[in-house]
Homo-oligomer: A and B are copies of this chain.
Amino acid sequence: MTPTPQRKNRGDRKSLKLQDIAKLVGGELIGDPGLVVTGVAGIKEAQENEVTFLSNSKYLPFLDQTRAAAVITSRDIHSSQKPLIRTQNPSRAFTQVVDFFASSGKSAKAKGVHRTAVIEKGVKLGKGVAVGPHAVIEEGVEIGDGGSIGTQVYIGRNTRIGRNATIYPQVSIREETLIGDNVILHSGVVIGSDGFGYETVGDEHVKIPQIGSVVIEDDVEIGANTCVDRGRFQKTWIKKGSKIDNLVQIAHNVVVGENALIVSQAGISGSTQLGKNVVIAGQAGLVGHITLGDRVVVGARSGVTKSAPDNSVLLGEPARPISEQKRILAATARLPELFKEILDLKKKSPVPLKENG
């Protein structure tokens, strides 16, 4: 087999002329109105046929470096080597263009309720809800308008899902889960599995019933094969706007604050709470029963063992404030050299350094 480029054959690829974008966002175009773009991305990531945006002056140096075809800017920017679309609010304009292109990514969405789907009694489906083949929706479930329930999805008893959900194939959502609007769950996600809770009696581990629930608020996205356990008694809670990558573990009773970014293979142990806008990088782990404040950043592969206040940036094993950890790492790297110096020191010292040992 010779893999061939996929993109060429696609008839469904969206495109926009710069004049269309200017119109869409109510902006002023400086540049070729007929230039065509086929996508949208951040200023450092954008490709030659994509449009990007500049909202923050710290990215100003990227304006002439970006590969993007054109840049959406504020009215403060007057000229550039690139075509510009000048608007009152470049961030809002950017999200409008993203929305336009994003609709081309919904191809995995089901249409209508498939004849092989099992919909139990008392299920309420909103306007335009689609349910894929072999999906199973148990009694008492409610799904809001515009929801797309993919192939082979399982939704347990009494779960409620808001509007415009995108539930990809083979997601499992256990009973009594509460999910907000515009939530995206990728294939293999498990929501509401039992937390890991036992009381050891002698040698035997007695299972403590896990009869809480999971609450997932609006605009949350959860990546493939990630697990969110149900609360033991209360709820496990993912707040509005948080984005979770693939293969992440969220244990029982965890609270993830608004707008978190949790990268692949990270794990958060039971009852730990995150503030707003927290970032947990890949393969990091947090012990249970701690609290991270707002805007805390945990570096990749760090092991967090203690609570940390707002705005902390943590790194290492155990995790420490990043400046401290960097000093330790630098010193550790020089250790072999240090041992050599110590040896020299011992040889030359006028007094014996160690008599026994």
Contact = CB atoms under 8 A, between A and B. Distances in A.
Interface string A200-241: 011111111111110101110101110101001111010001
A268 to B, nearest CB: 9
A interface, over-half SS? loop
B227 A225 contact: yes
A178 B264 contact: no
13 contacts: A13-B211, A39-B211, A41-B232, A91-B201, A91-B202, A94-B201, A98-B207, A102-B207, A190-B224, A194-B223, A196-B245, A196-B264, A223-B227
Given A39-B233, A150-B154, A320-B333, 4 more contacts: A1-B181, A3-B217, A105-B210, A328-B333
Interface of A: 1, 3-7, 10, 13, 39-42, 45, 47, 50, 53, 55, 91-92, 94-95, 98, 101-102, 104-105, 107-108, 114, 116, 118, 132-134, 136, 150-152, 154, 156-157, 162, 168-170, 172, 174-176, 178, 180-181, 184, 186-188, 190, 193-194, 196-199, 201-213, 215, 217-219, 221, 223-225, 227, 229, 232-235, 237, 241, 243, 245-247, 249, 251, 258-259, 261, 263-265, 267, 269, 276-277, 282-283, 285, 287, 300-301, 303, 317-318, 320, 324, 327-342, 344-346, 348-354, 357
